[in-house]
Amino acid sequence: MQLIDPNHPAYRRVWVRALIVGVCLTWAALEFITGDPFWGVLSAGAGVYAFYMLFWTFKPQPPAEAVKPEETDPK
């Protein structure tokens, strides 16, 4: 089951992908610091999964070009 679709156009920019991973891991650190390890583990897992999908296995797809309809020959 794939929770993050790396082919979505929103993930093309590297800063967006880094921000998602950074927010998840920062939130996990905040949860561990405040003494709630359950939510820290869940947030860290989300951050690790996001890193895996958005950086480790990320293969950017070229943007889809506008496909011209074939011209019909009125003969």
Is pLDDT of 2 > 60?
Answer: yes
Is pLDDT of 67 > 60?
Answer: no
pLDDT of residue 33: 97
14 domain-assigned: no
pLDDT of residue 68: 56
45 domain-assigned: yes
User: Quick one: average pLDDT of 5-28?
Assistant: 92
User: Quick one: average pLDDT of 39-63?
Assistant: 89
2 domain-assigned: no
In whole angstroms, how far apart are CA 63 and each of 5, 7, 53?
A: 15, 10, 19
Q: How many domains does the structure of the chain reveal?
A: 1
pLDDT of residue 8: 86
* 5: helix, strand or coil: coil
50 domain-assigned: yes
43 domain-assigned: yes
11 domain-assigned: no
Residue-number span of the structural domain to which 41 is assigned? 28-60
